[in-house]
Amino acid sequence: MLCETKLGEIEVNEGKILLFEKGIPGFEHLRKFTIVELEQTKPFCWLTSLEDPTIAFPVVNPWLLRVDYSFELSEADKRDLKLESIEDVEVWVIVTIPQKAPNEATVNLFAPIVINVRKNLAKQVLLEGSEYKLKHRIDEELQRSNEILKKMRKE
């Protein structure tokens, strides 16, 4: 199906439509999204609303920035996502890019987007009690990950 989005008109395969049953915090009225990959913005993709053409969030695979990112999903989150297997999980984090200072871009590691790829259900989960914050500077996360990888190579 053809959809008008913030990124222009895109062709969306019905099997790639993600349902956020409770919406995304702050955008609860929007339920249908898709992940759009653009060659010119890789490795960043776009969590794009199929109901409001003005809404598209830049997202990235969190392990590209923080090699040791990990969390446990709550039982409630697993139920909401109807998860049966860890192999069905895909995780993205939302990126914030300040207009006047793109080098100060941050990622939200506290509230990842978790997708059940088998059922196309998605939810932004809150990692209560975790060390993660709403804003982690991308440059700092990359530096931290590089240091971890260097130590691992030496061992």
Helix, strand or coil for residue 33? strand
Output the pLDDT for position 112: 98
What pLDDT does 90 receive?
A: 97
H or E stretch including 75?
helix 75-80
* Domain boundary assignment for the chain: 2-154
For residue 33, what are the β-bridge partners? 18, 49
Residue 87, Cβ neighbours under 10 Å: how many? 8
CATH code for 2-154? 2.30.290.10
Torsion of CA 34, 81, 112, 56, to 10 degrees: 20
143 exposure class (CB count in 10 Å sphere: 0-12, 13-18, 19+): exposed
Residue 69 to residue 105: CA distance in whole angstroms = 18
List per-residue pLDDT tens for the chain, 155 residues long. 777 777 778 888 888 999 999 999 999 999 999 999 988 889 999 999 999 989 999 999 999 999 999 999 999 999 999 999 989 999 999 999 999 998 999 999 999 999 999 999 999 999 998 999 999 999 999 999 999 998 888 87
